[in-house]
Amino acid sequence: MNSEDPEIPGDRNEIPVNNEGGGPGPPEDIIRIENLTKIFQNTRTVVAVDNVSFTVKRGEIFGL
């Protein structure tokens, strides 16, 4: 049984794949964090992150 849609021309194997996470050209930054510092204060002071910078480009996944 052929599951291809006859209304859609071409073969899906001919579609170029860009594994860089975006379209043509260099991936753009969609998140840019610069010099992030997070301090928690209660009975004592805790510095969670200090002066952290990073970018996330389109198509990337970032976990901290």
**Any idea where the domains of the chain sit in the sequence?**
26-64
pTM for the model stands at 0.51
Q: Give 45's contacts (C-beta < 8 A, 6+ positions apart).
A: 39
pLDDT in tens, 14-63: 555 555 555 566 778 999 999 999 999 999 999 999 999 999 998 899 88
pLDDT of residue 16: 56
pLDDT of residue 64: 72
Give the CA distances from residue 29 to residues 4, 45, 56, 60, in Å, rounded to whole numbers and listed in that order: 36, 33, 6, 10
Q: What is the DSSP letter of 62?
A: -
Over 80: is that where the pLDDT of 11 sits? no
pLDDT of residue 40: 97
pLDDT of residue 41: 96
